[in-house]
Amino acid sequence: MLTDPRMMLGLADSGAHVGQILDASQPTFFLSYWIRERGLMSIGEGVHQLTGRPAALFGFGDRGLLREGAAADVNVFDLDALALPLPTFEHDFPAGAGRFVQRSEGYGWTLVNGEVFMENGEHAGALAGRPLLSS
pLDDT tens-place string over residues 5-62: 888 887 777 777 778 888 889 999 999 999 999 999 999 999 999 999 999 988 888 8
pLDDT attached to residue 20: 81
pLDDT attached to residue 135: 63
Full 3-state SS string of 68-94: CCCCCCEEEECHHHCECCCCEEECCCH
Task: Name the pTM for this structure.
Answer: 0.87
59-82 mean pLDDT:
89
Q: What is the pLDDT of residues 84-132, one digit of tens each?
A: 999 999 999 899 999 999 999 999 999 998 899 999 999 999 998 888 7
User: Taking phi first (over 0 means left), then psi (-120 to 50 degrees means alpha), and beta for anything else, what does residue 70 get?
Assistant: beta
Specify the length of the chain in residues. 135
pLDDT attached to residue 75: 94
pLDDT attached to residue 22: 82
